[in-house]
Chains A and B, each alone.
Chain A
Amino acid sequence: MHGNIGTQAKAGETGKAKGRGQPPRVGDDPLFRRILLAFVLFFVAIVVVAPLVIIGFEAFSRGAGYFARSIAEPDTRHAIFLTAMTALIAVPVNTIFGVAAAWSITKFDFRGKRLLTVLIELPFSVSPIVAGVAYLFVYGLQGLFGPALQSAEMKILFALPGIVLASMFVTAPFVARELIPLMQAQGRDLEEAATSLGASGWRTFFSVTLPNIKWALLYGVVLCNSRVMGEFGAVSVVSGNIRGQTNTLPLHIELLYHDYNAVGAFAAASILALLAIVTLVAKVVLERQGAGRVRRPATLAGNDAVYPEVKT
């Protein structure tokens, strides 16, 4: 409440409200404050914290040995492996895509720039299950490329490629969305300066652009990764849910749960929960470095003027 200190002091000086009997400002009634805080805390406890605690508690309810055995079960191990594989492919691809998209949008002028910006964000507003079904129609046996793919003996659906594709669709905006506002605020001066000094495009990117966007980039990567590993809807449609073959961790958790193997489900879920906590910590650390805000505290060199982008 830093912003209020000044006003408070001022109110004191005017002498109208001497001593302790200052009239409360709007929304500053102690009772109101307590009720609001209590409501928020209660809500967070019930909605956010309780499920997390339950996961940890239930996972170990039959002891650490049972927990370890549940994790070590071949199907669960395979699901973990598949999830990791998916992330290992989808996250780097989306990172490269995100950087390329942010670079094109912020450093070039071209027709349809606004449209591209909107399109990149589309996956945020589409339900993942819709994406999954759409992939079925494109790559499925009855789909657009289905017959061609079958004759080429390429398996996309109900296999790793399909899972990766669906995950990539869902997480396509994460990196680009972190970078675009930052790179827009930074303008093109630094790149122009580097080029005029004789640096090549790659050199400019790696020694000038990248160091200035690295925290935002990492932030986007962390969020993208956690979403890829946790994605359920789109993957559920395209993977075919084959136990021990095309089940990712979130799908496997559901399967275990339907098998009335609650402890197994919770054990598997605890891995995702752990991932969430690691992501959260990473996010906080990165935010300390200045990532994740629309604008960083004025870039060090003082090129803090926001250059008006040519909107097309």
Chain B
Amino acid sequence: MKIRLDTVVKTFETFRAVHGVSLEIGSGELVALLGPSGSGKTTILRMVAGLEYADAGAIYFGEENATDIPVRERGVGFVFQHYALFPHMTVAENIAFGMKVSRVKRSPQVIKARVRELLDLVQLGGLGERFPGQISGGQRQRVALARALAVDPRVLLLDEPFGALDANVRRDLRRWLRKVHDELGITTIFVTHDQEEALDLADRVVILDKGQIVQEGTPEEVCRNPANAFVVNFLGDANRLDAEIRDGKAFVQDVAFPAAGIADGGGQILFRPADVSWREDGQGIAARILRVIDRPDSRRVLAVTAAGQPVEFDTAPEFSHRKGEAGFLDIRRPRVYAAA
């Protein structure tokens, strides 16, 4: 099922949560809505589900305008961050709930068979008689997914599905979710603030800030060609230095970086900690080492430039320079933007 959002707006009291977002999600796609808290990503997801109504704009499921279809009839599977399993029902009863309340009548045998099938799909065969309180967080989230899939939803929506789980469980679960998605081919949107999760799992990533889409594209596109400084910062650790742009070049101290197409004036360059080398000869931006932090596979160096701006970079474990030493930063793959 293709989903299309057409300049959707949502305002809470005085707070504008979503400012005219337009988005198209192809049938069978797995899309991540990625953004910091308050960026409106969850609100967008809840509007697609029908749990919130848009103040303006429209939401289409295929060719059908779904904007005013209530949640109950929208045919979406929604998975909540905190699972929202019914605590007084067993795992099997939770999964069967949607089929029992459905207008499409199913015989108890059919429901039972479907529950068994779904339990196998989420690898929880044999746990059907347990209560949600008796299984682990990762298992609960898989039950929540099975429950959402039981009603054959047109779209699967997941709100920070792994947010409440610890790191290892999270990694396993997202690989598993990708597998389930590839098996079922159901159009899926999930919300996350974890860029690693989004890049790992999604076909396409939609990056949001302050209720607007900042950039959308495949993980490769957003990583290789970030649209602006916000995206660079949000996708991972980044250093930022003030620069001055003159004649298509960005100058930091006396070092020039290519900056074609950016207007003269104030600018900034951003770069990843892995894209810096430390030199003792006069190549690069003058800096001084403040501190060296040891990590299992590298050393992280905290330095400050001659202009007083902090820079962090990663080096090989053999890096032997110490606190207080002066030298030069050689920057690879810099990204130049106009000043914010």
Q: Which residues of B contact A197 (CB under 8 A)?
A: 97-98, 101, 147-148, 150-151
Interfacial residues of chain A within 139-194, with CB under 8 A of chain B in the complex: 189-190, 192-194
Total interface residues in chain A, CB < 8 Å: 24
A305 to B159, CA, bound (A): 15
Task: Let me know if A300 is at the binding interface, CB within 8 A.
Answer: yes
Task: Let me know if A289 is at the binding interface, CB within 8 A.
Answer: no
Mark the stretch among B78-86, B241-249, B298-306 that contacts chain A: B78-86
Task: Let me know if A15 is at the binding interface, CB within 8 A.
Answer: no
Chain A minimum-CB-distance residue to B85: A301
Contacting pair B140 A301 (CB below 8 A): yes
Total interface residues in chain B, CB < 8 Å: 35
Contacting pair A195 B87 (CB below 8 A): no
Q: List 26 A-B contacts (CB under 8 A).
A: A189-B80, A193-B86, A194-B86, A194-B101, A195-B71, A196-B74, A196-B76, A196-B148, A197-B147, A197-B150, A197-B151, A198-B98, A198-B101, A198-B103, A199-B97, A199-B98, A211-B86, A212-B87, A299-B87, A300-B87, A300-B133, A301-B86, A301-B133, A302-B133, A302-B164, A303-B80
Chain A interfacial positions (CB closer than 8 Å to B): 189-190, 192-200, 203, 207-208, 211-212, 299-305, 310
Task: Let me know if B88 is at the binding interface, CB within 8 A.
Answer: yes
Q: Which residues of B contact A300 (CB under 8 A)?
A: 87-88, 131-133
Contact of A203 among B71, B86, B87, B101 (CB under 8 A): B101
Contact of A303 among B71, B82, B103 (CB under 8 A): B82
Contacting pair A302 B80 (CB below 8 A): no
The 7 closest A-B pairs by CB, nearest first: A300-B87, A300-B133, A197-B98, A189-B84, A301-B85, A193-B84, A301-B87
A214 to B35, CA, bound (A): 39
Task: Let me know if B102 is at the binding interface, CB within 8 A.
Answer: yes
Give 1 or 0 for each of B7-19: 1 = CB within 8 Å of chain A CB: 0000011000000
A310 to B74, CA, bound (A): 26
A211 to B76, CA, bound (A): 25
Contacting pair B84 A192 (CB below 8 A): yes
Q: Which residues of B contact A192 (CB under 8 A)?
A: 51, 71, 78, 80, 84
Q: Which residues of B contact A211 (CB under 8 A)?
A: 86, 88
Q: Which residues of A contact B295 (CB under 8 A)?
A: none
User: Contacts A301-B133, A302-B132, A302-B133 hold; do A196 and B78 have CB atoms under 8 A apart?
Assistant: yes
Chain A minimum-CB-distance residue to B12: A310
Task: Let me know if B77 is at the binding interface, CB within 8 A.
Answer: yes
Q: Which residues of A contact B49 (CB under 8 A)?
A: 196
Q: Which residues of A contact B72 (CB under 8 A)?
A: 195-196, 198-200
Task: Let me know if B128 is at the binding interface, CB within 8 A.
Answer: no
Contacting pair B140 A196 (CB below 8 A): no
Tell me how far the C-beta of B140 lies from the nearest C-beta in chain A, rounded to whole angstroms: 6
Contacting pair B83 A303 (CB below 8 A): yes
Interfacial residues of chain B within 116-155, with CB under 8 A of chain A in the complex: 131-133, 137, 140, 147-148, 150-151
Contacting pair A301 B132 (CB below 8 A): yes
